[in-house]
Amino acid sequence: MSDDRFLLSDMLAAIDNIKKFKLEKASEELKLSAMSFQLVIIGEAAGSISEKLKIEYYHIPWQRIKDLRNFLVHQYDDINEKVVKDIVNNHLPELHENIKKIME
């Protein structure tokens, strides 16, 4: 679990960064870019989580998180601001709480 703890910590840090970026007085384009990169970090870490942890916490959509990373990296020209904001506002808070529970 030590490698998983490191990856989960990275995911929490990226979520915290996204929270900060939302408050920044910067252009929406710049904030979207910064948040998208943090989502890539979250997806990269999620893809490296051990199978044991993924099975134990099957309710977390590990594959969907990884798939989002792949989309953001490979189809970057199709990134939709509304979709990113929906993920940030409606899905990351729950992911944050789930990760914190795992790490307790």
Pair of tokens at residue 55:
């099975």
Could you tell me the pTM of the whole model? 0.91
Domain spans of the chain?
Answer: 2-103
Specify the 3-state DSSP secondary structure of 58. Answer: coil
Q: How many angstroms separate the CA atoms of 33 and 62, rounded? A: 22
Give the per-residue pLDDT at 100: 96
Q: Tens digits of per-residue pLDDT, 3-28?
A: 999 999 999 999 999 999 888 888 88
Handedness of CA 56, 99, 61, 2 (dihedral sign): negative
Is the separation of the CB atoms in 11 and 60 below 8 Å? no
Q: Tens digits of per-residue pLDDT, 42-87?
A: 999 999 999 999 999 999 999 999 999 999 999 877 888 889 999 9
Angle between helices 28-48 and 62-74 (to 10 degrees): 130
CA 59 to chain centre: 15
Give the per-residue pLDDT at 2: 67
